[in-house]
Amino acid sequence: MRNKFEATAADGTVFKRSSANRLYTHCVVIHHPEWRSPADGRTWPAYMTAEWAGSHSLAMDNASRRAKRNRVEILEARRTTITRTS
């Protein structure tokens, strides 16, 4: 059986995840700022990544580790569908 989860960020971005054997309750969204390479001067745009956690305390641990350099947002995850695998 496959569980599907999703979490919606403040700006409306939807993060999705599916798993066969884990339940996720929280999604930690890491906002990476735009940055410029000192070597060649190229610029990389800002982007977001997501880490999923099975409890609020694990989400807080992930957020505190990442918050030193990036803006972090903790979202409540909800289970959207359960599909059977054969």
The residue ranges of every structural domain in the chain are 2-81
pLDDT the model gives residue 86: 57
Question: Which helix (H) or strand (E) segment is 57 a member of?
Answer: helix 56-66
User: Which residues pair with residue 2 across a beta bridge?
Assistant: 83
The pair of structure tokens assigned to 40 is 């060649």
Compute the mean pLDDT over every residue in the chain, rounded to the nearest whole number. 85
Decide: 59 and 50 in contact? Cβ < 8 Å. no
Summarised one tens digit per residue, pLDDT across range 53-83 is 999 888 888 888 877 778 888 888 888 876 6
Q: pTM for this structure?
A: 0.73
Decide: 3 and 23 in contact? Cβ < 8 Å. yes
How far is CA 3 from its chain centroid? 17
pLDDT the model gives residue 79: 84
